[in-house]
Amino acid sequence: MYTVFSTFDVPEDKSDQVIEIYKNRSRSVDNAPGFKDFLLLQNDKRAGEITVQLFFETKKDYLNWVRSEDFKRIHELEKKYPDQELASIVPKVTQFKVVAQ
């Protein structure tokens, strides 16, 4: 299994807004080959630190997703988000292979 974390810091007063965006996400990734699960995490001590965690069967499945037209379309829409402060945030992405479960 392969997992990817995309962590970003948003102003704490906008964290609820970001959470709502992800609760209403397109779910396009859910149909990607090899996709297993999606989690949205909020730091318990720093409300503005939000992490998207994706699980895929393999690294290749993940790479196919990020190269897909759906991925590109979704991320282009994010750049057009009305709140330019949120639209300009670049996440820190870390990738892991799962070595034990």
Distance CA 83, CA 17 (A): 10
Q: What are the domain boundaries of the chain?
A: 2-97
- Residue 42's pLDDT is 97
Closest CA to 6 of 31, 38, 28: 38
- Residue 80's pLDDT is 67
- Residue 79's pLDDT is 66
> What distances in angstroms separate CA 79 from CA 1, 71, 90, 95, 100, one per listed residue?
30, 13, 10, 23, 37
Per-residue confidence at 76, pLDDT binned at 50, 70, 90? Answer: confident
- Residue 84's pLDDT is 74
- pLDDT tens digits, 7-65: 999 999 999 998 998 898 888 999 999 999 999 999 999 999 999 999 999 999 999 99
Q: Global pTM?
A: 0.88
The answer as to CATH 3.30.365.10 being correct for domain 2-97 is no
Distance CA 80, CA 34 (A): 29
Closest CA to 86 of 58, 48, 52: 48
